[in-house]
Amino acid sequence: MRIHAQPLSRTKVLVNKLPAESDIYGVFEKSGNKDFGLLRLSSLPFGFKGFETLKLGGFAEYQFGSFKPRADYGPSISFQGNPGNNSDSSFGKIDFRYALNSATIDTYGFLATKTLYSDLLGTYNTKNHNLMLRSGIDFKLDEHNRIGLEAKLQGSGDLHLDYVGIRYTLVLPINP
């Protein structure tokens, strides 16, 4: 087994609570000589009476970096709420998107409690059957700081472990 240590720098920005139940999300990563960037506009304006946790909408995104840039769009669905209907203890959300141009299913989910934050990011390309899963769990040090572990698996047919690493998250809420 070969151990290879390489720093990964990731910056995420989320601007939410925009009109039409919209948000703007950006992520920028650098690892060695590889760069990745994504800008996404999402809107989930359609909820269902009696199903306040289910919303439908769509998205448009642009990916760029150490590869050929591409734009994509498609439908999205979101489930969110408080497990057990206990608003003081936890909140969870899972989003699914289908990118029409790349034939890719994309999902992101998280569960946050008073002391823990756990998330899972996944993509599956229906053309080449490539699957990527990135999961993490953090301990909340205080309102703005979290520290934890992250692991990434990917492959087509057989999954292999890309990395396991320590992550630190600084949450900076901006209130206008």
In a domain, 123, yes or no: yes
Query: What range defines the domain where residue 71 resides?
Result: 9-170
Question: Phi, psi at residue 84, to the nearest 5°?
Answer: 75, 5
The residue with tokens 């709420």 is 81
Confidence (pLDDT) at 128: 93
CA gap 123, 39 in Å, rounded: 16
In a domain, 141, yes or no: yes
Percent residues over pLDDT 90 in the chain? 50
77 pLDDT above the threshold of 90: yes
Question: Phi, psi at residue 20, to the nearest 5°?
Answer: 60, 35
In a domain, 65, yes or no: yes
Higher pLDDT, 49 or 63: 63
Mean pLDDT of the chain: 86
Confidence (pLDDT) at 85: 59
Task: Identify the band that residue 49 occupies on the pLDDT scale cut at 50, 70 and 90.
Answer: low
In a domain, 110, yes or no: yes
- The count of structural domains within the chain is 1
141 pLDDT above the threshold of 80: yes
In a domain, 72, yes or no: yes
1 pLDDT above the threshold of 60: no
Confidence (pLDDT) at 4: 57
In a domain, 84, yes or no: yes
CA gap 10, 30 in Å, rounded: 7
